[in-house]
Structure 1
């Protein structure tokens, strides 16, 4: 069942630091490795991909905190709130399949965008996923719910 689409893709390339993460044309997800060319690839396989819902940016905007996409550290920005899904939920995007592993904890360094941002988005900061099946993800790809956690 298609439940949404990808608004944007972002990657922290080797040698880059800070936020926002740069926009990239596509992400190549590699099972048991991570995102190709991403500086976090090959590290914690349960946290290889971070997804964020558009609603996090909408909450910030309501409080006059204007964030560029990628500012929350996401790799994939969804057009819906993924926080309503539990650990174990699987999404198919393009040929890739990702599975939710845990909620991302709030980072106080997000206060550089606005002092109240960390507490404002504490319940929708982002979600870590692992890669179940390799593939390429790009903007406007459909997001299919494969399995609820």
Structure 2
């Protein structure tokens, strides 16, 4: 069984509060429509969340690049490598269950930060996950794999 902890959480602020600004938060509630209170919550579009492992930033730092956490547009940042999980796997974070939808493979915006960055973290940018129920998660919550597909 793979276990770890939530290191940080991020959400995109709604229109009334600096629209589009990504903010680090201590906790949030979410459901199958995404993060409650975020700009993209329940907007009629499939809103998968992005889970990023510390491994991604370790790879970036080993290449002697320095970036703030959040650069990879993660909603959930964890200290355990979950990139081996396939579509259909289930992860428990705090009181929440998330289904893995697959790897996050959008790298285009990263070229602006460093031309080598997309290739450097190819296949290690993060996982798209979808909440399976309503609940909350917080920094420090335990992360565990419930089912591997």
* Contact 1:87/1:100 (8 A) holds in 2: yes
- Partners of 2:80 and 2:63 in 1: how far apart? 20
Give the aligned partner of residue 31 of structure 2: 30
What per-residue deviation string (whole Å, max 9, x for no partner) do you get for residues 81-119 of structure 1? Answer: 211111111111111111101211132211222111111
Deviations 1:53-90 (A, max 9, x none): 10100111111211111110000011022111111111
Which secondary structure state, in structure 2, belongs to the residue aligned with residue 85 of structure 1? coil
The separation in 1 between residues aligned to 2:131 and 2:106, in whole angstroms, is 22
Contact 1:6–1:139 under 8 Å retained in 2: yes
Aligned residue for 2:85?
Answer: 85
Q: Structure 2: how far apart are the matches of 1:104 and 1:93?
A: 19
Which structure carries more helix by proportion? 1
Length, aligned pairs only: 145
Give the structure-2-normalised TM-score: 0.89
Q: Which runs of 5+ in 1 are unaligned?
A: none
Deviation at 1:120, TM superposition (A): 0.6
> Which consecutive residues of structure 2, in runs of 5 or more, have no partner in the other structure?
none
C-alpha contact 2:2 2:80 (8 A) present in aligned 1 = no
Work out whether 1:123 is the aligned partner of 2:123.
Answer: yes
Aligned residue for 2:20? 17
User: TM-score, normalised to structure 1's length?
Assistant: 0.89
Query: In the aligned structure 1, how far is the partner of 2:69 from the partner of 2:105?
Result: 19
* SS of structure 1 residue aligned to 2:11: coil
Question: What does residue 146 of structure 2 align with?
Answer: 146
